[in-house]
Structure 1
């Protein structure tokens, strides 16, 4: 990663450059420039401990691209909430959605100061894109913020995206309670998309691999929780899971489509799970 562009230039107010940020480490893994030496140092530590994990960022972006494309192009969704969105990078949710429908509205939600600083910039050149500075673990704050509230008040279907975020909430019951508050207010016909670190815990080679990676990253991300597909599925509540259900990200394909033809070895991509569900 030594050839990545570095972003140690002007620092926006409120950004702590003495502590690493998950969002900025993720940005660096994707080849971004909005990160600092403290983030790059943590990234190098992660590489030494678990060299497979940077692939998570790229695999998640591929999955997210397929999901947003299907929702905007085929399902006709024109309102999106990307919660825990992270730093803007290539092919963001709004770029994909508005590529199919220029009128599509997107609200990004994040509470990382670096993300907030860059998220505000999205408002300057895109009238259909908004940013909410809030913690997704506090649904009342998120749902009460004007851009989110206005999007929901229209009563039209909304796509809520939780990509690689819920596994940072250690308590599974708390995570279900948080998600239930979001699900209650989604209009009929809305969608929920979740990606999450997973471990089937069934004694399979996939479970053994996930356990090894889980142990490796524990020191860097102590709150990270690998969950079973059933536990991840419970976050969808009573929504109708679309086929093929909660599966590894590279196995997920849009309804009527085919999963990517990836030549996958026993790597980190096998521990990322996800699914999409629809509210009747």
Structure 2
């Protein structure tokens, strides 16, 4: 099984940006605070082409999937019909209430938008996104069965943890050192960190709130640092004990980033849920 750090890189480069865009922009649209075209534009920024498939007949019925419409229109309809939605970023050892057969798909994708079907029911479907080629994303809708509705995490606490994590991640990068690609200069490292940070950024609506924007930005910065640190890790010359310590630090920081991202994205969704429908 892939380690946490490997899974996080996979998520950043595949389904998470698409799931984040659909969840946040879709929830704002549900509240009547933006148009459906805004949601479609946000998804187009992730990838121009989107295709939706159903993993089982029940999921196909829930989203009313037909051969005539297999793109973003299906996603909009699914989001509109849901009684409640939340982003889950499951990982080995922290499955966030997902069980049974769908768990493997959730862990493989790393990011799932859970759509609960009724106000009084825990029955839900999951929506996963996967990059299948340049500019092309395939979404899979899968029945999840009963999914416990976890309480939303505190965004203020996540921001405090991110401030500490920035320091820890920077210290880790300094510790592993020896990043050999590029010219090795401080300016080169800054350029590479900036480029990777842009790759790790998630799109959220402009009215998401300053704290959400800060947390999303901090998670992107830390994920970029961890990407470079992981790449440098085999060349550090550390002892086996030192390597194990670095591995543990990487996993802890990846877990912190994953939790903070989920908290920030769901804060946008929850705030939209509280807004009067227009």
TM over 0.5: no
Sort the TM-score into its range (normalised by shorter chain): under 0.3
TM-score, normalisation: structure 1: 0.26
Bigger relative contact order, structure 1 or 2 (CA pairs below 8 A, ≥6 apart): 2
Q: Which protein has the bigger helix share?
A: 2
TM-score, normalisation: structure 2: 0.26
